[in-house]
Structure 1
Amino acid sequence: MKKTLYLVRHAKAEDRASFQRDHDRDLVPEGIMAAARVGHHLAELGVKPDCLISSTANRAKDTGKVMAEQLRVDPETLVLEPKLFDGGPKAYIAAINGLDKNCKSVMLFGHNPDISYFAEYLTHADVGSMSKGAVAVIEFEDLNWAEISGRTGHLVDLISPKKLKES
């Protein structure tokens, strides 16, 4: 049975102010619009993830909530995983490997450089640095989430807000 993972880099956030913790930075209006545009595009493609997981950072969880609304998924179902903020790629694989087998499609909201490295690790595709608000769509054939590791996925698409705006 096929499983689909949507890796989402958070949308554009406030610049880091000297008095503000990095974790607490919020999305800027441009970031909110970009997240909504990508979410709307995914909804038009029929995407409806079974599970949503996000870093606890404001900018990641707010990206998740905006996209969930566009996908007509209850934003309250977003599961927050603290280790996705500064936990490195190991935190990402742990989050995926621990998923319930009944989840067929998962959307995970995180941060660069970890999320880009993770997409490349899973697919061995040249993803490069994912732009803010971008989504890497990865499919896995005949694997449970616990079996997913390096080079087990296939990169199906890489969607960015900029590309959607140009089309």
Structure 2
Amino acid sequence: MPLSLYLIRHGIAQERSDRIADRERCLTDEGRKKTRQVAKKLFDLGLRLDLIQTSPLIRAKQTADIFESSGFDCPIEISYDLAPEGSFDLWLQWFLEWRKLGKTSLGLVGHEPDLSSWAEFLMWGQVQGALVLKKAGAIGLSVPDVEHPVGNSLMFFLIPPKLLI
């Protein structure tokens, strides 16, 4: 049975600055509001998750926490592979083992351009730079239950937040 994988970009965060480390940038008030609206709408549409993995950066963790507080009653786990320029190969090793537990739905909260690149790699086996994931947007992939899902997954949605709020 295929697994539903949701790649979710963090919400709108503080601007880059010399005064604050990138990993410490928080969601803005607007970012929290939009992310909350997106999470609630996805929950209302019937999306359920067995686990949320999030980048360790503050803005991603805050996004994951908003999903949890919007009805997604599932564990949240930090994955350093989801940090900017994290390791897709290491994450894929983890994923192939985790999938053996019989789970059906996984959410990943992270950053661009990594999430779009991961989606393209899972679908096409290579990064083409064709997908753009907006802040608080989501990509839904159906990942087949095969030994090598790279190049064999199907996208069933690419949703910018403006379509959900």
* TM superposition score category, shorter chain reference: 0.7 to 0.9
Post-superposition Cα deviations, 1:12-62, rounded to whole Å, max 9, x if no partner, equal 100012121101100011111111111111111211100110000000111
Shift in Å at residue 135 of structure 1?
0.6
Is 1:60 matched with 2:60? Answer: yes
5+ residue gaps, structure 1, are none
Inter-CA distance 132–91: structure 2 relative to 1 (3 Å threshold): farther
Return the letter of the residue paired with 1:157: F
CA positional deviation for 1:88: 4.6
Matched with 1:93 is: 92
The CA deviation at 1:128 is 1.6
Query: Who is 1:10 aligned against?
Result: 10
1:158: which partner in 2?
158
TM-score of the two chains, using structure 2 as the length reference: 0.87
Task: Name 2:138's counterpart in structure 1.
Answer: 135
Find the aligned partners of 1:56 and 1:88 in 2 and give their Cα distance: 14
Identity %: 28
Deviations 1:51-74 (A, max 9, x none): 110000000111111012213415
Q: CA deviation at 1:100?
A: 4.6
Instruction: Say yes or no: does 1:21 pair with 2:21.
Output: yes
Task: Return the letter of the residue paired with 1:113.
Answer: P
Quote the offset at 1:157 in angstroms.
0.6
Residue ranges of structure 2 left out of the alignment (5+ in a row) = none
Contact 1:93/1:149, CA 8 A, preserved across alignment = no
Give the number of equivalent residue pairs.
160
Q: List aligned pairs for 1:23-62, cutoff 5 A.
A: 23-62=23-62
Q: Secondary structure of the equivalent of 1:157?
A: strand
17 and 53 in structure 1: CA distance in 2 versus 1, 3 angstrom threshold: same
Structure 1: how far apart are the matches of 2:129 and 2:25? 29
Q: TM-score, normalised by structure 1?
A: 0.86
Aligned Cα RMSD in Å?
Answer: 2.0
Task: Describe the shift of the 1:96–1:50 C-alpha distance in structure 2 as closer, same or farther (beyond 3 A).
Answer: same
1:78-121 deviation per Cα after TM superposition (whole angstroms, max 9, x unaligned) = 10012321315435434433425222100010111111111111
Identify which of 77, 82, 88 aligns with 2:80.
82
Cα gap change, 1:137 to 1:3, in 2 (>3 Å): same
Other structure's SS at 1:99 match: helix
